[in-house]
Structure 1
Amino acid sequence: MKKNLLFSLFITLIVMASCTKNFAPRSLFQGEEMNQWDTRGDVSLKNQLLVLNDKASLALKKGGHTNFEFDITARTIDNGKGFIAFHTDEQGKKGYKVALNNDLESSEWWTKTGSLLAVRNLTKSTVKTNEWFDMQIRVDGKTITISLNGSPVVEYTEPAKPYRLAENMSQILSSGTFVIQSTKGTLEVKSVSLTPLPENNNTDNLKVSAVDETEDPVIRLHQENFPVLDYHVHLKGITAEQAAARSRQLGINYALAPNCGIGFPITNDNEVIAYLDSMKGQPFIQAMQGEGREWSETFSEAVREQFDFVFTDAMTFTDTKGRRTRLWMPDEVFVEDEQQYMDLIVKKIVDVMQEPMDVYVNPTFLPEVMSDRYDDLWTEERMDKVIKAMVAANKALEINNRREIPSQIFIQKAKDAGLKFTFGTNNSDGDFGKLEYCFRMKEACGLTAEHMYQPKIRK
């Protein structure tokens, strides 16, 4: 009996040791040799680094990987970019790809490092070119998590019926090997390791629930390589951490914009600098909303230029009798002659185009007393006057989701005139919505990625 007990214990220890070994981290590269990889193109081992130049690639010889944590320490050199493919073949033709792209001048500025390409593209990289960063790609059942320097930037659960365009039909979870490839310039790799994870078919307690992609407009835009960015979000009723989690859940990137001006949360240069310091490392594009007509004099040019872009509206002005007017405040709107007041609004919009901003937001807004006659008051002549001023000043136009403005006719005119666009929520609380009106106008007016405004992302 004692021998049988010892024998059973021995067998149990062997099984446990075997399981531990199977799911233990395995080094794929630690600076010494690259014999676990097949190489293509200009790949070299220099100073204990793997160096990949112009379209060179590495393919892990051993495939069949399903659930895992893939950890890599890498950096992009100057404008170098590439990707890591998983659940793929030796050519990286199937499965998913994760972007390595910190190039601030990239034409596809919405596919930054950490993007799950064509599924969850990212408009802001939390890491910089020429600097080392740690990336982890985790696949656990149907959930893909991508983290940079320990912080998640993508959390995606593949649904039972993922939406994929014809060219992306093989972009689904299965199993396979890993490919690291440079698509332009140079990538350098310091270390790579792989930790297999046990099979996980439990979908009851997913951290991120799968989105029904049969009706989801967001996945369609990612699939067609369109920048999915809400350019006008405020931290009202929501924290930065909650906004980041919401972004990962919905697949919509956010540009955060503090209200800057006299009587608003940020009132001077020092407060701007403190705010921007608090946002370092966050996955958000940083925008400034200038409030009131004195905002450009309240903040120095040097401080304004630390934002990725600046926007303002024409909803605050002084009327013909010297009264301060805020169009959204009924008790500050004094309409004696409706047509004359409408002409005043148009004039104030045209005047705003001379301010040092990039994007005109809350466009074509009318006060409550006039809003039910929007289509009548916004005549073609008035629309043309505003659009002509915007073209001359090289300003972009916001399509505002909250107020569903401007009209489709205005947007089509602006597109025909060559204006660039942004999508903006301008939320008043923690509910951002899902850019529904913006997406409808995108389809109705045939907007493509080329029509969207590109923020001047700062280093």
Structure 2
Amino acid sequence: MGKMMLSLLSVLILLISGCGEQEKKRILFDGGNLAGWLTEGTVNLSDSVIGMADAGKMTLKNATFTDFELLVTARTVEKGKGEVRFHTDENGNGGYAVALDNDTDHPEWWTKTGSLLSVRNLVKSIVDDNEWFDLRIRVEGKKIEVAVNDQLLVEYIEPAQPYRTPENRSQILSKGTISIQGTEGVIEIRSVEMTPLKVEKALISNQLAEAIDESTDGIIRLHQANFPVLDYHVHLKEDLTLELAKSQSRRYGINYALAPNCGIGFPIQNDAEVVEYFERMKGEPFIQAMQGEGREWPTTFSPEVRNLFNYVFTDAMTFTDRKGNRTRLWIPEEVFIDNEQEYMDLIVENIVKVMDEPMDVYVNPTFLPDVMNDRYEEFWTDERQERVIEAMVRTNKVLEINHRYKIPNKSFIQKAKAAGLKFTFGTNNSNSDFGKLEYCIEMMKECGITAQEMYKPNL
């Protein structure tokens, strides 16, 4: 019995030693003086608050940290922006940077507060301009966590061979000091605390085993290229719960826009249920999109309720055929075809009509029923493509590139780009196993889609 207890105790000690042990917390700023900091540019201390304007910078002097937990209480003022950098040199250069940015009107809308810049950019800020918030950065072995007001937003494990562009080559975990820097406008700092951590080698080995292989990962390449990384079309379905969506989004580095299905016979059927949905989603780190279902949705939901969402999308897969049959193109039993070319004309005619509905994004575009899909190129002639694109231009609609169905094809996307349409990348998942936007990234590369051509939600 004694040997068994000793063995269990040894295992317990080993498990504990694999976690980051805390040393004593260090107060780096609590409203007092800035004696321990090297300041540059406009850095002022007034009423126990540090104010930094534009390129103001404060870098901790005579300090080197490897593993730590950093807590900064800050706010952005009137669309001010800044960064908290760590593992920098004594002048605040190099290392990783975490964004302080709550400006929803800025053209670069995909690097909001909490972003691990160029590695895990965040589309949604869960705090507002002029609002005090706590930013927690934890570096433990090869893992970086970023939380805002205790909401974990970033969970990144640096692999043994991280992918970095030449301009981002210093974004490698090593050791160094910390630096808080303004980049535009005014940011304010109320307190800074640091707790060094001790990390055992066994923990690092376990982390590396979990890390994503960045030698082939398309997502890190988008972040490094400063391209918005957002799946605009995600459903909480089957095993994809809210909590799993959060953890999966953090692991892959893909921002998710959650889209409840809204319409008669769907999970959300009226204005009151939309309001209830938003109550449940308050404070969650997701963009919110509405999927209008059927052709009745514009009259089922009021404009005021529709405008609660960051954007609205629908598809043209539901319509009434020429014989009066309600048709859902993805259900073979509801597709009745006498003449395929005439049926294709009906599909196009319906798509053009749908463009007049009060939505922002046309999703599942150019979808064909199973009996026709193997001849997609035959049915989607240049003339039919151009007719749909003309309707989208006329009504100022956005085109989804859909990963699940791998539509539209390259020809359609190129025509849409030439016509000046904006794009979204979407999955329309049926469960939690829905990939990482591979088809969208492929089309982005082949068609030369730029960050500026991606649709900006109403943030």
After TM superposition, the score normalised by the length of structure 2 is 0.93
**Paired residue type of 1:432:** F
**Paired residue type of 2:218:** P
Partner Cα distance (1:129, 1:441) in 2: 36
Partner Cα distance (2:442, 2:200) in 1: 38
Q: Which residue of 1 aligns with 2:70?
A: 70
Partner Cα distance (2:86, 2:109) in 1: 23
Q: Which residue of 2 aligns with 1:303?
A: 305
Residue 369 of structure 1 aligns to a residue in which SS?
helix
Give the CA deviation at 1:109: 0.7
1:453 aligns with 2:455: yes
Residue 458 of structure 2 aligns to a residue in which SS?
coil
1:264 aligns with 2:266: yes
Q: Which residue of 2 aligns with 1:325?
A: 327
Partner Cα distance (2:301, 2:76) in 1: 35
Q: Which residue of 2 aligns with 1:11?
A: none
Residue 413 of structure 1 aligns to a residue in which SS?
helix
Give the CA deviation at 1:296: 0.8
Q: Which residue of 2 aligns with 1:349?
A: 351
In the alignment, structure 2 segments of 5+ residues that lack a partner are 1-20
Q: Which residue of 2 aligns with 1:146?
A: 146
Give the CA deviation at 1:432: 2.1
1:170 aligns with 2:170: yes
Partner Cα distance (2:323, 2:333) in 1: 15
Structure 1 contact 79–103 (Cα < 8 Å) conserved: yes
**Paired residue type of 2:243:** E
Give the CA deviation at 1:207: 9.8
Structure 1 contact 153–248 (Cα < 8 Å) conserved: yes
1:221 aligns with 2:222: yes
Q: Which residue of 2 aligns with 1:105?
A: 105
**Paired residue type of 2:128:** K
Partner Cα distance (1:37, 1:51) in 2: 14
Give the CA deviation at 1:175: 0.9
Partner Cα distance (1:220, 1:211) in 2: 13
Structure 2 contact 84–181 (Cα < 8 Å) conserved: yes
Q: Which residue of 1 aligns with 2:96?
A: 96
Partner Cα distance (1:329, 1:196) in 2: 58
Give the CA deviation at 1:62: 2.4
Give the CA deviation at 1:22: 8.6
Give the CA deviation at 1:447: 1.1
Which aligned runs of 4 or more in structure 1 are off by greater than 6 angstroms? none
Give the CA deviation at 1:411: 0.6
Of 368, 375, 378, which residue of structure 2 is paired with 1:376?
Answer: 378
Q: Which residue of 1 aligns with 2:81?
A: 81
**Paired residue type of 2:343:** Y
Structure 2 contact 69–195 (Cα < 8 Å) conserved: yes
Correspondence list, 1:426-437, <5 A? 426-437=428-439
Correspondence list, 1:251-290, <5 A? 251-290=253-292
Q: Which residue of 1 aligns with 2:395?
A: 393
Q: Deviations over 1:21-77 (max 9, x none)?
A: 991001011112111111111111112111111111111112211111110111111
Give the CA deviation at 1:314: 0.4
Q: Which residue of 2 aligns with 1:60?
A: 60
Partner Cα distance (1:283, 1:427) in 2: 19
Q: Which residue of 2 aligns with 1:336?
A: 338
Residue 167 of structure 1 aligns to a residue in which SS?
helix
**Paired residue type of 1:443:** K
Give the CA deviation at 1:208: 8.7
Partner Cα distance (1:70, 1:135) in 2: 8
In the alignment, structure 1 segments of 5+ residues that lack a partner are 1-20
Correspondence list, 1:187-266, <5 A? 187-202=187-202, 203-206=204-207, 209-237=210-238, 238-266=240-268
Partner Cα distance (2:159, 2:207) in 1: 12
Identity, % of aligned positions? 61
Partner Cα distance (1:142, 1:239) in 2: 28
Structure 2 contact 22–198 (Cα < 8 Å) conserved: no
Q: Against the structure 1 CA distance between its residues 261 and 224, is the aligned structure 2 distance closer, same or farther, given a 3 Å change threshold?
A: same
Report the more deviating stretch, 55-64 or 117-126. 55-64
Q: Which residue of 2 aligns with 1:18?
A: none
Q: Against the structure 1 CA distance between its residues 288 and 207, is the aligned structure 2 distance closer, same or farther, given a 3 Å change threshold?
A: farther
Q: Deviations over 1:372-429 (max 9, x none)?
A: 1110000000000000110111111000111010001111111111111101110111
Structure 1 contact 233–432 (Cα < 8 Å) conserved: no
Partner Cα distance (1:102, 1:128) in 2: 6
Q: Which residue of 2 aligns with 1:7?
A: none
Residue 63 of structure 1 aligns to a residue in which SS?
coil
Partner Cα distance (1:149, 1:339) in 2: 57
Q: Deviations over 1:206-265 (max 9, x none)?
A: 399211111111111100000111000000021111101001111111000000000000
Structure 2 contact 162–215 (Cα < 8 Å) conserved: yes
Q: Which residue of 2 aligns with 1:13?
A: none
Residue 370 of structure 2 aligns to a residue in which SS?
coil
Partner Cα distance (2:378, 2:386) in 1: 15
Structure 1 contact 75–133 (Cα < 8 Å) conserved: yes
Number of matched pairs? 437
After TM superposition, the score normalised by the length of structure 1 is 0.93
Structure 2 contact 142–208 (Cα < 8 Å) conserved: no
RMSD: 1.4
Give the CA deviation at 1:139: 0.7
